Amino acid sequence: MTNRTTLTTTLAASALALAAGAATAAESWDMPMAYAATNFHSEMGVVFADKVRDYTGGEIDITVHAGGSLFKGGEIKRAVQTGQAPIGERFMSAHANEAPLLGWDNLPFVATTYADNDKLWHAAKDKVNAQLADLNLVALYTCPWPGQGFYFKKEVNSSNDTQGIKFRSYNTATATFAEELGMIPVQIEAAELSQALATGVAESFISSGSTGYDRKVWEHLTHYYKVNAWLPRNYVMVNKQVWDGLSAETQSQVQKAADETGSACAAKSEELANWYFEQLSGNGMAVTDAGPEFLSELQAIGAKMTSDWVEAAGADGQAILDAYNGN
């Protein structure tokens, strides 16, 4: 080997080492998300990842794993808390059994428009963030689902028609709701919903038009009642140690990406809400408002659920409602 070749080889080797150094300085984050890859929440997760890559100059490279493919919906929070995944997305009120305050977005008939839901989130935000910090989590952005209504495979006019129906719940509050209507709740992830309906494990559920559309529930069910009982939120959370380990500059770049994505995601949800109903009816479902008798029963159950929540969430829960109501 001539001296010249040795030099070239050495230079090439150090260029490689530099590139490798740069690659390890950049962080790769796997981001498990719970819902279908084609759902707007997951699509917005990809928008967020792109913005983070852009704003941090490639320092943080997030890969989205939608549909519970990396961790199932019910496992995502723990995975992020324990650092198995640095970041992830989940339905906030799914965690209310562990921390009742996180059920703030699951209060029936309290905030039933996007504007009111946003107002309620602003009333809840600081307390929710403090609660999440106790769980070793930092919320980067939240995004509402469209309003929640009931899916059935028959006409339902009151609780006389719901007795004994097998009901897919997505958290403890919806299980309570079902029991109050004489139904039998079973908790099932959205990712497994089509199968549960196909096998008869569930024959009814409460959700937005969005999840009914994603899971093509018209293959099994016939009626959707638009109740618009609440607009629950998903949130993108990051492990607190991972977050605290970022420089202030990187944190603000990531937060900018999160703020922009949160607003775009809420706007997308609102834009799609009616479109989903059109898809359900276009595929043969009867999509109507709940009848007066059913609705007044739901409102009575809802009022009880809200007061149960205030009791469970304590002074912080009451303070959120007071701030929301302008008291």
Interface residues with ligand PCA (CB under 6 A) are 91, 145, 170, 190, 207-208, 210-211, 232
Kindly state the smallest distance separating residue 271's Cβ from ligand PCA, in Å. Answer: 15
In what helix (H) or strand (E) does residue 167 lie, and over which residues does it extend?
A: strand 166-169
Kindly state the smallest distance separating residue 151's Cβ from ligand PCA, in Å.
10
Q: Which is nearer to ligand PCA, 117 or 208 (CB)?
A: 208
Our CB check for ligand PCA shows the closer of 55 and 170 to be 170
Q: Which residue is nearest to ligand PCA (CB)?
A: 208
Q: How far is the CB of 232 from ligand PCA (least distance, A)?
A: 5
Cα separation of 238 and 255, whole Å? 11
* Residue 53 or 74 with smaller CB distance to ligand PCA: 74
Sheet holding 184-187, edge to edge: 184-187, 166-169, 204-207, 149-152, 223-226, 286-289
For ligand PCA, the closer of residues 59 and 189 by Cβ is 189
Q: Which is nearer to ligand PCA, 152 or 170 (CB)?
A: 170
Task: Check: CB of residue 263 under 8 Å from CB of residue 114.
Answer: no
CA distance 217 to 8: 64
Does the CA dihedral 234-238-244-248 come out positive or negative? negative
286, two tokens: 């009867």
The closest of 98, 97, 92, 82 to 139, measured between CA atoms, is: 92
The nearest distance, CB 327 to ligand PCA, in angstroms, is: 29
- In the complex, the smallest distance separating the C-beta of residue 251 from ligand PCA, rounded to whole angstroms, is 29
Q: What DSSP state is assigned to residue 283? A: T
